Structure formats: structure tokens, C-alpha cells
Amino acid sequence: MKSLLLFLTAVLYVLLSSAVTSIAAATATNTSAPTTTICPLDLGYVLRVPWNHSGCEAPESSSVAPENNTLCCQTLLSLIGIAFARRLKDTSLFQLPDLNTSASCLDDYQSKLNSLSLPGSLVSSCFTPERFVINDTACAGIESTGDWKARLGDSTPLDSSCSPDLTDQTKCDACVAAGLRVQAQLVELDGNNSHTVDCWYTTILYAAGIVNSLGPESDGAMSCILSLSLESSPGSNQQSNLVFGLTGAGVAVVVMCCLLGLWFWYKGIWRRVRGGNAHGTHRDLGVDLEVTGSTTRLRPKAGSIWFKIRDLEKATDDFSQKNFIGRGGFGLAGNIMQVLDPLLWRDGEAMNSNPKSIMERFVRVGIMCSHVMVALRPTIVDALKMLEGDIEVPPIPDGPSPFGHPSIFSDRNTFNISPALSQLQLLTGDILR
């Protein structure tokens, strides 16, 4: 029994020793294994937004970063600023919590750049993990949006200037000016001019992530606030060309329609003119026609009507004596009522309202006012009264025949004076010579 007890004790000791050894080995293995940290930044937009990466491309036949990569580093800082602005809006934190997280994010950033066939050493040549980690030397000690409001208040010039769409250059200039004022406030609060760049970076992150209503991935925020150079979109250019093309075509169609309308309108008027009475007056068109040979000429309608000699011959029955009214200073006056508009022929009405009588009175007054004998001409006052119908128009007296007229040397001298004026004493000086 004693031997059996010793044997069992030895076996138990061996088993316990093996277990302790295995646990120690496992613990040592776990301690030596590196820990993996996941980056909290979503960098998928690097492959999505149309940023201009021509300044970061390696020279031909080379896979390393360009020698003068200052412009490239500034572009990459603006590009990763989009992710930090989005995280600021989600977590209210400006920077990453530790070095491992920062290093993981930079590795992820480089992998995205590799997908764009850019050199593999871009990120390591531009940034160190310490740059994006929260530390005590931050601008004015601002680590979160709460610190921002505690230092600057609930409202800053950024709130009114950087909120709208900043693709408009005027609005962009206003936002940049507001950012410079806020940066100056932060530097003054910080008290260290060496933090000027850090204060500017803090300002643009707040403007892009918190203030701008369209977010940090909008074209205005990327190009204006983050100063990221963007490539023009081929689709947008094609769309703009299409819009301009359609607009130009529409304008051309409208102009052609207007020109065609004017042409048809002109042709219609000319057809109506040519199809009308060649010897009449087209009062609806405001023109008169005069036919000379085989051509038709338009005469302007300017108040008085133009009569051709054949019209007067037709109207007066070849100047018949039965249509003779009187003699004026320039010859005989005949009845030309037949060439008037038929609408003026309205007999049976009062003398002062009958257009035919009115016209005849006007003609008689005109003859008297141009009588060859000045003494027989009415005064202006009497002529106006005659025209208005206030007094009657006296009979038109005959005038003497001009010297040399055949009637003077013939026995058929028809010169006489109207009985209405037979009692007038005429002076020789009153006769128009």
C-alpha cells in the first residue's frame, strides 16, 4: 500500500508540472503577439471623389514619390481632412485617440492611394502618426467641439459665412475671410504663434464638418474650405454642352419662325395691295395705288388724296359746264363729288351734318379764300365762321379773265359780277396783279 501511494503521488506531480508549463508557454505566446487596431476613419471616399492627384504621380519609369512633394503633401492633408471633418461631426473630437490608431489610419490611407496607382511611400514621406493624435499642445487646448464653444462661444463668423453652398466664388471668399478672423482669435487665445498652422487646421475642420450645411464631401467644402483641387467631371461637361446646344437650337428656331412670320405678313399685305382696286384708295392699309403702265406704285396716305387727271375728267364729265361751281385764283372749280367715298353721300340730312354739304361748303370757302380779287376774299374770322356753319357761304363771284385770255378779244366776254357783290365799290389797288 505504501508503494502504491508513492506511485500515485509521483504521477500527480508529473501531470501538474506539465499543466503549469503549458499555461506559462501560452501566456508568453500571447504576450509576444502584436495587437491589431482598427482605424475609425472611413476613407472610401478617396476612390470616389474627383480629386486631382496629378501632383502626386510618380515620374515615368519610377515607383517612388516625386522629389518635390510639398504640393502633393498639401493635397493629401486636404484629402484626409474630409475624413477628420466627418468624424468631428460624429464624435465631436478633432483628433485620433492614440498612436496605434493613427498609424492604422495612415496605413489604410496608403492602401487607398495604392489603388490609384500612386507611389507607395507617399503617406510615410508626408506624415507621422503623432501629427493626428490628441495632445496637450493642440491649438488653444481645443480637443472637442465642447472646447471650441467654451473658448469662442456658441456663434462665430464661420456660422453665417461658411454654411451655404460655397461653389460660388463670392460666398467662398466670405467664408475664407471669416476663417482668418477665427484663426486670429484662436492664436490670440493660445498665445503661441508657432501654433498658427494648427489653429488654421482646427478652424477648417470645424467649418467643413460642423458649419457647412452640405457636408465635407460637397464640392464647395472640398474646393473652398479644404482647398482640395478637383477635376472637372466629363459627365457635367457633356451635360453643359448639351444644354448650350439645345438652347442655341431653340433660339435659332424661334428666330427663323419670326423671320418666316414677317415674310408671310409682308407677302399678305402686298397680295392684298395688288389684288385691290388699282385706281382706288386702300384705306385699311394706309396706302394709295398709282398704276403707271405695267407697274404699280404705292403712294403714302398723308391726309390729302391724290387725284389723277383722268379721275377728274371722269368725275366732272370731261369738265362739263354743268359741273362748274366757280372760278378761283388758279382757274375754274368744278364739282368733284363723284370721286368721293360713297359713304359721304347721305342726302336728306341737315345742311350742317350732311357730309356732302359740309364738303361742298369747305370747297366754296376755299375758292373764296383764293379768289383772284383780294377785295372779294373773306377775312379769317368770316372764313372760320363759314367753315363752322355759323354764317352762310355767299355765292362765289366771277373773276376777271387774265390779260391775253381769248375771251377779251371775242364778243363772248362772260365777265360779270355776282349780284351779291354788285354794290361794292372796288379800288384798283385791291385787285391782285
Cα gap 260→254, rounded to integer Å:
10
Among 188-197, 362-371, 393-402, top mean pLDDT goes to: 188-197
The candidate with the shortest Cα–Cα distance to 350, out of 342, 361, 340, is 361
Cα gap 415→399, rounded to integer Å:
7
Quote the pLDDT of residue 342: 54
CB 152 within 8 A of CB 207: no
Domain boundaries defined on the chain: 44-231, 270-306, 310-430
Quote the pLDDT of residue 287: 47
The answer, yes or no, to whether residue 331 has pLDDT greater than 70, is no
CB 194 within 8 A of CB 188: no
Q: How confident is the model at residue 94 (pLDDT cuts 50, 70, 90)?
A: very high
| Residue 370, all three cell numbers | 383764293
Cα gap 252→268, rounded to integer Å:
24
pTM of the predicted model as reported, rounded to 2 decimal places = 0.50
Backbone angles phi, psi at 63, to 5 degrees: -115, 10
pLDDT in tens, 281-316: 444 444 444 544 444 444 444 445 556 677 767 766
Quote the pLDDT of residue 23: 55
- The mean predicted confidence, pLDDT, of the chain is 75
User: What's the burial of 222, exposed, middle or buried (CB within 10 Å: 0-12/13-18/19+)?
Assistant: buried
Sign of CA pseudo-dihedral 96, 97, 99, 101: negative
The answer, yes or no, to whether residue 33 has pLDDT greater than 90, is no
Cβ neighbours for 248, distance < 8 A, ≥ 6 positions apart: none
Rounded to whole angstroms, what are the CA distances from 263 to 231, 267, 288? 49, 6, 22
Among 13-17, 278-282, 353-357, 407-411, top mean pLDDT goes to: 353-357
Cα gap 301→43, rounded to integer Å:
83
CA-angle at 67, arms to 62 and 69, nearest 5°: 115
Cα gap 83→308, rounded to integer Å:
95
Quote the pLDDT of residue 433: 37
